[in-house]
Amino acid sequence: MQIAPNLRIFGECFLGRYVIGVSSQGITSIEFNNSIEAVEGILTEKGEIGNKQKVTQEKENWIRMANLWLMNPRLTPKFPIHLAGTPFQLKVWKALIDIPFGTTISYSDFARSVGISNGARAVANACAQNKLAIVVPCHRVTRKDGSLGGYKWGLELKQRLIEWEKQQSKS
């Protein structure tokens, strides 16, 4: 199931440029891309450039909270998130939120931890469909050999996030 966000806002933080999607139920997506053209491409592809949506006070508060959180994603998000996907994807995404800050786990170990034997590939596919970068921390899942595997927003960002979290968890 796809969510059609009512509103998309883009901004920039220490990790790069991002787009925040918002529905009437909460933040639907935080997607990274360091190219203005690519960010505009995300909006154009979804038909949202020039889309004049009503910004309620509630949505404005969620966007403000998400923008502030992106400046220090070590803190627990204080804004509502609106996940939509298959039952399997929702199970994986909700379990990803419980991976401790500053740690990583292999796809296969993560799959086993949520009761999916031989499910590394299925977990990786669910991670690839995640639209809430950092909030649903799929960047914390790596290959069994310690290599990064994939990341929807690029391996460079995944590596930076893992290193940043490890450094932050020591301080």
- The dihedral through the CA atoms of 46, 50, 56, 59 has a sign that is positive
DSSP designation for 56? -
* Helices 87-96 and 120-128, axial angle in degrees (round to 10): 90
Q: Which amino acid is at 144?
A: K
Q: Please name the helix (run of DSSP H) or strand (run of DSSP E) that holds residue 47, with its range, or none.
A: none
Contacts of 150 (CB under 8 A, 6+ apart): 124, 127, 128
**Does the annotation count 127 as an active-site position?**
no
CA distances from 113 to 95, 108, 116 (A): 9, 9, 7
Active-site residue, selected from the candidate residues 7, 9, 30, 138: 138
3-state secondary structure of 10: strand
Active site residues: 138
